[in-house]
Amino acid sequence: MAFAKTLDELKSRGYRFKDHAECKGCGDSIEWWESPNGKNIPMNPMSRGADEAVAHWATCTEQDSFRKKD
C-alpha cells in the first residue's frame, strides 16, 4: 500500500497525531505521528486539505546525521 498523500488519508488509515516539535538536525518545525503499528514518524507540518503528507526525513537537510553507521 502506498503511503498516505494527505492529512485526511493519514487519519483514515489509523495514523495518530502526537505532538509538534523541532527537528534536532535542521531546526525545522515537524509533527510527530504514530503509525497504526506503533512506529513514530516525523512529518512536515500539514494543514487540512492544503498540504501533502511528507515524512520529514525525505526533506531534512541533515538526514544523513540520523542514519545508523555500519
Residue 58: what pLDDT?
87
pTM: 0.81
Kindly tell me the burial class for residue 36, based on how many C-beta atoms sit within 10 Å of its own C-beta (0-12, 13-18, 19 or more): exposed
The Cα-based distances of 4 to 26, 53, 56 in angstroms read 24, 7, 14
The domain spans of the chain are 7-64
Tens digits of residue pLDDT in 5-45: 888 888 899 999 999 999 999 999 999 999 999 999 999 99
Helix (H) or strand (E) holding 23: none
| Cell numbers found for residue 64 | 544523513
